[in-house]
């Protein structure tokens, strides 16, 4: 009789541990996907902010100049202006890429790593210069 109770208790505890393990793994996966999606969204918003401010400065013409503050998430590997001079691009940790196209030609550098950065965006003759302060 005691052996049967012990076996039943072990089965119940085993099922409980299995259910808790499944729940923990599922929750981890949900939170990880949420963080990844938030990193992508924050990066895209930062690139959009740069592009929109560059367009605004360009429409004002030379010598217009604006300072902005942007923040890149921790999931950033590097960011750059692509060779067409109109596309801002960031590589993310999971191999994903985030792009944002500007209506004006861009030149200069964007921050390469995560964190908050002050940028100076200034209009030149045929392009907009982006500098990290």
Residues 67 and 79: their CA atoms lie apart, in Å, by 19
Q: Where are the domains of the chain?
A: 2-132
**Total-model pTM:** 0.76
In sequence order, what are the beta bridge partners of 78?
A: 91
Q: What is the mean pLDDT of the chain?
A: 88
Exposed/middle/buried for 58, CB within 10 Å: 0-12, 13-18, 19+?
buried
**Sheet strands (E) in the chain:** 65-72, 76-81, 87-92, 97-101, 106-108, 115-123, 128-132
pLDDT for 44-89, tens place per residue?
999 999 999 999 998 888 888 999 999 988 888 888 888 788 889 8
Residue 22 pLDDT > 90: yes
Residue 126 has pLDDT above 90, yes or no: no
């Amino acid at each position: 009789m005691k052996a049967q109770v012990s076996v039943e208790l072990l089965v119940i505890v085993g099922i409980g541990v299995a259910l808790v393990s499944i729940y923990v793994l599922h929750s981890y996966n949900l939170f990880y996907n949420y963080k990844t999606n938030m990193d992508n969204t924050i990066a895209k918003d930062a690139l959009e902010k740069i592009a929109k401010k560059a367009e605004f400065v360009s429409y004002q013409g030379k010598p217009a100049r604006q300072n902005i503050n942007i923040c890149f998430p921790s999931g950033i590997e590097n960011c750059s202006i692509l060779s067409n001079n109109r596309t801002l691009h960031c590589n993310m940790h999971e191999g994903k890429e985030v792009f944002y196209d500007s209506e004006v030609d861009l030149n200069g550098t964007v921050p390469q790593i995560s964190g908050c950065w002050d940028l100076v965006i200034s209009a030149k003759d045929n392009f907009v210069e982006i500098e990290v302060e």
